[in-house]
Amino acid sequence: MQQTTNKVIWITGASSGIGEACAYLFAKEGAKLLLTALEKDKLEEVKLRCVDLGGQAEILPYDLSDINGLEVLVEQALEIYGRVDVLYNNAGISQRAKAGDTLFSVDQKIMDVNFFAPVKMTKLLLPKMIEQGGATIAVTTSISGRFGFQLRSAYSSSKHALYGFFETLHAEYYDNNIRVVIVCPGRVQTNISFYALEKDGKQHSKMDAGQAGGVTTDQAAKKIVKAIKKQKPEVLVGKKELLMVYIKRFFPGWSRKLVRKIKPT
The DSSP letter of residue 172 is: H
62 labelled catalytic = no
**Residue 54 β-bridge partners:** none
Residue 101 and residue 44: Cα distance in Å, rounded? 38
Q: Which residue is catalytic, options 62, 155, 195, 246?
A: 155
DSSP conformation letters of 113-149: IIIIHHHHHHHHHHHHHHHTT-EEEEEE--GGGTS--
Name residues whose C-beta falls within 8 Å of residue 196's C-beta, 6 or more positions apart in sequence.
Answer: 93, 94, 95, 96, 155, 203, 204
Measured CA to CA in angstroms, residue 52 lies from 27, 45, 85, 136, 225 at distances of 9, 11, 22, 25, 19
Which residues does the annotation mark as catalytic?
155
